[in-house]
Structure 1
Amino acid sequence: MSDVRGADDGRAPRYDLVPALFAHQVAGFEPQGWMSGQDWLDDLPALLAGLLDEWELEPIGQSLHGVCSVVIPVRLLGAGRETVGVSGEGVLKVTWPHPEAAPEPLALQSWNGHGSVRLVRADPSRFAMLLERLHARDLTRLPIDEACGVIGDLLTTLRRPAHPRIPRLTAYAERQAVELRAAPPVLPRRYLDQAAALASELVSRAPAEERLLHTDLHYANVLGAYRSPWLAIDPKPMAGDVAFEMAPALWNRADELGTGSQVRWSLRRRLEIICERAGIDEGRARAWTIVREADNAVEVAGSEGVPLDADARDRISLAVTIIKAMND
């Protein structure tokens, strides 16, 4: 574990920079083009110390974390203070190296704070970013219709040309067209075949213009800010059809969908609000959602023959529910 103590008199609070739960989660990650989770964790204390020193940052609170990233609240002591506002505060985000995270700085740079968290500086080789500090509040406690409206508005703000190095949605769809047909029957076969066929069709009938996509814009990935009511965080960027953006708002907050026939109504209501606010074609949004949910189910199921735990069974059941609602 890495820690830091305030430099004034030794009585300042001690901050653990690598949370124990985060380390436990990441330790088992297999390499995805870079290093394993454990090898990265072994280097992480020195990596964080080096970044704090080079970028003239002072930790000012306990580290937070997601699945793959550690986030440290910091005070900027040198360059960049004018970017983050009068507080001089930001967050240092360092991510376990994997392909999905690699294009995040490019997307944030393209948005330049318009609808998204502002990027102050980045070191892509170390998967490190210095970002403006946002509020802790997100959309999870807003009424669902209001939250969907915010997401629709943000998708409109975030819509701009993609950097040439952002991965293309067409490549993802072409993979799914092959992989879903060959996947074990974790879903009814007709849904896997339908999703594979839709992936091919959506590529062949692509929209006229590709746009920079967030691809993971859900209720916990939108935070309140000092300079704007709401800003997007944690993109998983791709370039392509804006209708691909819909699915995360459907599979998150699933406990609020209701029961019986109300579930379909709730899912379609979310889709309608976001599509209307963002100017997205509902038919394409439904089709991409079927592809993404089939992909999610196959990924959750893991290797064929390995027993599913309760969480995996619940997630696959949700995928079936969403696919049915998109077909009705």
Structure 2
Amino acid sequence: MMPVRLPAHWTRRVAAYPADGGPTGQAWLATVPGLLAGALDTWRLAPDGPPMTGWTAIVVPVRRGAERLALKVTWPHPEGTHEALVLRHWAGAAAVRLVAADPARGVMLLELLDAARDLRTVPVDEACATIGRLLTRLNVPAPMQLIPMADYLAPHLDRMAHRPAIPRRIVDRTRGLARDLLRPDIPNMLLHTDLHYENVLARDEEWVAIDPKPIGGHPGFELLPLLNNRVDELGERPQAGVHRRVIIAAEAAGIGLDEAFAWARLRAGLEVSWATSLGDPAEVSRAITLQKALDD
């Protein structure tokens, strides 16, 4: 069996990743051919097409007899730790079906979805409503293994307070929202946290989620990815479009509008903090523009 060839553009990007709770990207890449070969042998799979890649994973279409599947290997990092756990928890309801997994190695065997059909192929209003409806099925009570939202956000809020590049008004507002929203009685629901348009693929005539980065918390935290993707469609005055997307998704998901906007503003403030860490002025400007667009 011919080894799977790793796309050069992907290996160049991953090689630059610093360690984040596991090996560096460069060190991990050296293990990927063995991980793929081991999974192909263990699960009796044959490659069935060129690999697809994301920021942290490679996905190889495979066959097992007449069955078409997808073999996914993911770089170890905290956000990906519980992907197999929650896919098993969802059991194929509104999410890609998990066939088998070796979580210690970051290897999963999944149903094969139509990678050519994601929610970028439908009008944005329809896409937001679709994601809202998916959230009603995905946001079930969180498994106990997931980090609670307050614990997840605490280090991000702390780093934000010590980044001088962030406008002070954004720091104060974001930390104030966190104090108001992170109450002991908030729901502890299973959150996908990265449900943007490319992370919803077609299963025949149904839309399902892929690539969760799960935590436990309030469903209002789910909406920001709808706003900072397909940004070109917001035009030069983004506020109306941003508000429209929040309203459509929140109403479809059954999230109160006041809560939806409050959580979106909190996460948008954290997005500004993340953007400043990249050292890219264009990313900072984009994040601040989105944060302003969420204002009343």
Larger relative contact order (Cα-Cα within 8 Å, sequence gap ≥ 6): 2
Counterpart of 1:324 in structure 2 is 292
- Partners of 2:159 and 2:266 in 1: CA distance: 11
Distance in 2 separating the partners of 1:282 and 1:206: 19
User: Which segments of 5 or more consecutive residues in structure 2 lack a partner in the other structure?
Assistant: none
- Please say if 1:133 is aligned against 2:101: no
Asked if the contact 2:128–2:245 (Cα under 8 Å) also holds between the matched residues in 1, the reply is yes
Q: 1:300 aligns with which of 275, 284, 290?
A: 275
**Cα deviations across residues 265-298 of structure 1 (Å, max 9, x unaligned)?**
1000000000100011222222222222222222
Residue 114 of structure 1: aligned partner: 93
Does residue 104 of the first structure (1) align with residue 83 of the second (2)?
yes
8 Å Cα contact 1:92-1:131 kept in structure 2:
yes
CA distance in 2, matches of 1:246, 1:67: 21
Q: 1:129 to 1:194 in 2, by over 3 A?
A: same
Query: Given that residues 177 and 197 in structure 1 are in contact (C-alpha distance below 8 angstroms), is that contact kept between their aligned partners in structure 2?
Result: no
Q: CA deviation at 1:206?
A: 4.3
- Deviation readout 1:23-68 (Å, 9 max, x if unpaired): 1111111111211111111111111111100111100100110011
Q: Which runs of 4+ in 1 moved over 3 A?
A: none
* Distance change in 2, residues 1:206/1:173 (3 Å): farther
1:81 aligns to what?
none
Aligned to 2:172: 193
Task: Choose from 130, 154, 166 the match for 1:150.
Answer: 130
> Is 1:92 the counterpart of 2:71 in the alignment?
yes
Alpha-carbon distance, 1:140 to partner: 0.6
TM-score (norm 1): 0.86
Deviates more, 1:293-302 or 1:96-105: 293-302
Q: Could you tell me which amino acid in structure 2 is paired with residue 236 of structure 1?
A: K
Contact 1:176 1:199 in 2 (8 A): no
Q: CA deviation at 1:162?
A: 1.2
Normalising by structure 2, report the TM-score.
0.95
Structure 1 gap ranges (5+): 6-14, 78-86
Find the residue that maps to 2:127 and give its secondary structure.
Answer: helix
Task: Describe the shift of the 1:300–1:319 C-alpha distance in structure 2 as closer, same or farther (beyond 3 A).
Answer: closer
Cα gap change, 1:176 to 1:25, in 2 (>3 Å)? closer
SS for the counterpart of 2:11 is helix
The letter for the 1-side match of 2:61 is P
- What is the alpha-carbon distance in structure 2 between the residues aligned to residue 178 and residue 298 of structure 1? 10
Identity in percent? 42
Conservation of the 8 A alpha-carbon contact between 1:173 and 1:200 = no
Counterpart of 1:71 in 2: which secondary structure?
Answer: strand
Contact 1:293 1:323 in 2 (8 A): yes
Q: Which residue of 1 aligns with 2:19?
A: 31
1:1-328 matches, within 5 Å, as 4-5=1-2, 16-77=4-65, 88-136=67-115, 137-186=117-166, 188-204=167-183, 206-207=185-186, 209-226=187-204, 228-260=205-237, 263-302=238-277, 308=279, 312-328=280-296
